[in-house]
Amino acid sequence: MSSENPQTQAWALLQAARILADQHAFARNDCLSESTTNGDNGSCSFVFNLQSGAVDTLAGQIHDADLIHSPLEGWQYSNALPQAARDMLDLYLPVLGTATQTRVVIGHLGQSIDARIATLDGDAFFVTGEENRRHLHRLRSLCHAVVVGAATVSADDPQLTTRAVSGASPVRVIIDPQARVSQDSRVLHDGEAPTWLLHADTVALDSLPQSDGYRRLAVRSMDGRLQPQDILDVLAQNGLRRIFVEGGGVTVSRFFNARCLTRLQIATAPLLVGEGIASLQIPGAASMKLALRPDFRLYRMGQDVMWDFELSDEHWDSVSPQEPSNSTELQRLL
């Protein structure tokens, strides 16, 4: 490799891989076009072109390829890549899914070392540092949708775009069961990305304000609440299968407790908040022996440390399907 920034190379490869995934090549068991398809195994290869600074798509199993997707083996990259590029591919390739995992749901929480995501009055600017915040923008770029709860929109008025990195912004999905998100919210009018509001099916959508700036969808509800699995089903029916559940802590916790996350990322910053808003809220294990111990990778992001947990079926045996004991508070916040 040349002196080209390894992260620049890795991100270019990831954007090319995202295009492959977005064209539903996994489902078709082929590559980007007939000219790049290997008829034997349907694999697709990518190489970073040092002269153009772009990614070329090659046919089949090319030995000098930087990145390969195979329907049988998933994503593989060349060991000739710089370590920094390989670390970045390790972190982000699972976001794109594979031929055998077409739905990916990632939750992320940025917390203090004492597990707080904000102060008691809701101040969360900023818990984690710039590198982790750039990581959030990368996740948005690689996913079809970024999901937040109504409380997060009300408290932070976020943009939820990819302005810090190259790549398209995802659909911004707001979980708003009772249609209480303010019409002044930035995501409803800035035109930076599609915005969907998910409401309980008991809400009369025709009576709500309508705009070309956003879309309202009804989701089956229980006691006025939207269940994570029902939310994911509605998104999948609308073509959104790579989902980034960004916040807040209540929303990420509900997806976790419903066993709907395929990955959970917790970035911890070296600060102590004391009393504040708790991070992940899950039922307590009956003993340390029964505590959940999923596989993980550890990443350093500036002064922050991030755990990237893989949540597979075999890791859920010790987790109660019930929501945390403070479910009344979770209902109020979501």
Q: How high does pLDDT run on average in the chain?
A: 88
Q: How far is CA 218 from CA 29, 179, 201, 253, 273, in A?
A: 33, 11, 5, 22, 38
Q: Give the confidence band of 58 by pLDDT, cuts at 50, 70, 90.
A: confident
pLDDT in tens, 11-35: 999 999 999 888 865 655 556 444 3
Query: Cis before residue 48, ω within 30 degrees of 0?
Result: no
Q: Are 193 and 174 in contact (CB under 8 A)?
A: no
Domain C-terminal end among 51, 85, 119: 85
Residues 64 and 119 in one domain: no
Report the distance separating Cα 329 and Cα 324, nearest Å: 10
Report the distance separating Cα 62 and Cα 315, nearest Å: 36
CA 106 to chain centre: 4
pLDDT at 50: 83
- In the chain, the N- to C-terminal Cα span, in Å, equals 48
Residues 25 and 171 in one domain: no
Residues 72 and 218 in one domain: no
In a domain, 227, yes or no: yes
Residue 201 belongs to a domain with what CATH number?
3.40.430.10
pLDDT at 64: 84
Averaged pLDDT for residues 89-96 = 97
Report the distance separating Cα 194 and Cα 56, nearest Å: 30
pLDDT in tens, 193-213: 999 999 999 999 999 999 999
In a domain, 281, yes or no: yes
Domain C-terminal end among 85, 115, 133: 85
In a domain, 230, yes or no: yes
Residues 178 and 217 in one domain: yes
pLDDT in tens, 150-203: 999 999 999 999 999 999 999 999 999 999 999 999 999 999 999 999 999 999
Question: How many distinct structural domains can be found in the chain?
Answer: 2
In a domain, 93, yes or no: no
Residues 16 and 163 in one domain: no
pLDDT in tens, 246-271: 999 999 999 999 999 999 999 999 99
Q: Which domain holds residue 301?
A: 104-333
Which residue's entry shows tokens 């049988």?
Answer: 72
Q: Give the confidence band of 322 by pLDDT, cuts at 50, 70, 90.
A: very low
Residues 117 and 247 in one domain: yes
Which residue's entry shows tokens 């270019």?
Answer: 12
In a domain, 303, yes or no: yes
- What's the pTM? 0.90
